[in-house]
Structure 1
């Protein structure tokens, strides 16, 4: 492994994840790197146009060139390309916010979504990453994942002190998800999310579709409608992906 390249991507990821411009010293401390190393790499990234430095504060932020790099990859992802008509159909059937996502390491990566036009909304923007078990779509994909235990253990360790995850309880929940063919998530009490896996030819999840709606307008009948819509749409999309 080329350590210089590895460190450069570590630093670029750290700057890209930050909500606000970040200090060089903070990057160095978070990544356990020498300030001189971080400074040298930031200078190179700046020359290439991937980061910029604020004149007033000296802090660094990612530029739109970083976004362009990622959005180019997202736009060409085969699941995203195939998902467009199915997202539109799922949105038409439910009237709610719909998303398509894939596994990216131990996280889910949101590839695309259609936002509900109705007043109460729940949004996770395209390009966002979230720990897989914290989302309905992620749970649906994990239910088909042979390495689910190892993934959950890594996530539990990563989130320790921030959020406690019971791996055994989650594994039991994933068995139920696998049996019924969909997952539900209520991490936000005001929102219910229902997700289903898009089955790949290898028996694992090629991706997932999810519907998120405010709890206040999701009664038993509406939830049944969403579940059936997710199941049918995931099956149809899996058939389409299988022909590509």
Structure 2
């Protein structure tokens, strides 16, 4: 593996770590010789991407990488286009609303609005790639493509397992296709304890007529509030927001990275 790939691997690894991590753990988890891992970490530290909590101590990401990502999103115009619509849907639903965009074979959450003013607030990390098999966002994207293409993407990424996500996460092709087919019938996807225990979500593709989907807008919250009946009530508002985003998408180049 080249030094560039190892460096990127270290950055991706540290993105998943809340606490600082010892050199030995990074090297062992990534199967990189400790001497080589140390050299790469020194380079990343000198460039401002990681820091040590104390001299010769554990490593943690700085905010430089986050700032670069936020700067890219600001330059793309995606937040300016989407935020008002996300805020409106969050106010209507009283739950977390998020936007994911398609970038080739990936679907990444890039913007959000929180509608829950009290009680449990569901707010997972942004910037994550969507787990296609066990998220409403993934199902909504896959409803716009053939079953064969959907399965190709899921098999490439792998099925999310119930022990890591929700107890109803599909682990077979048949179960997954059941979710996708129902999403096609109603125009949007819904899940119940699939992405996480006691949580539900619904999502609709952002898609101009005759073109591939360019993103997905979703609503997520606790089952105690976002019940099956409540999701049915919110269906028209969700579809309306998706249609508005599709109509406005020409203003951002980031919405046109589907291939």
Q: Distance in 1 between matches of 2:171 and 2:106?
A: 15
Q: Distance in 2 between matches of 1:66 and 1:243?
A: 25
Q: Distance in 1 between matches of 2:41 and 2:227?
A: 52
Q: What is aligned with 2:174? A: 168
**8 A contact 1:99–1:114 mirrored in 2:** yes
What TM-score comes out, normalization by structure 1 length? 0.86
Q: In angstroms, what is the RMSD of aligned CA positions?
A: 2.7
Query: For 1:1-244, what aligned pairs fall within 5 Å after superposition?
Result: 3-55=2-54, 58-103=57-102, 108-115=107-114, 116-146=116-146, 147-156=149-158, 165-186=171-192, 187=194, 188-200=196-208, 203-219=211-227, 222-242=230-250
Unpaired stretches in structure 1, ≥5 consecutive residues: none
**CA gap 1:227/1:131 in 2 versus in 1, 3 angstroms:** same
**CA gap 1:35/1:200 in 2 versus in 1, 3 angstroms:** farther
Q: Distance in 2 between matches of 1:191 and 1:51?
A: 34
Aligned pair count?
243
**CA gap 1:31/1:145 in 2 versus in 1, 3 angstroms:** farther
Q: Give per-residue Cα distances to partners, 1:157-190, cap 9 Å, x unaligned.
A: 6869857721332123212212321011223343
Q: Per-residue deviation at 1:104? A: 5.3
**CA gap 1:38/1:202 in 2 versus in 1, 3 angstroms:** farther
What TM-score comes out, normalization by structure 2 length? 0.82
Q: Give per-residue Cα distances to partners, 1:8-30, cap 9 Å, x unaligned.
A: 11112112221211122222222
Q: Distance in 2 between matches of 1:160 and 1:96?
A: 24
**8 A contact 2:77–2:251 mirrored in 1:** no
**8 A contact 2:122–2:222 mirrored in 1:** yes
**CA gap 1:33/1:189 in 2 versus in 1, 3 angstroms:** closer
**CA gap 1:41/1:60 in 2 versus in 1, 3 angstroms:** same
Q: Give per-residue Cα distances to partners, 1:9-55, cap 9 Å, x unaligned.
A: 11121122212111222222222221111111100000011111232
More deviation in 15-24 or 129-138?
A: 129-138
Q: Distance in 1 between matches of 2:44 and 2:131?
A: 28
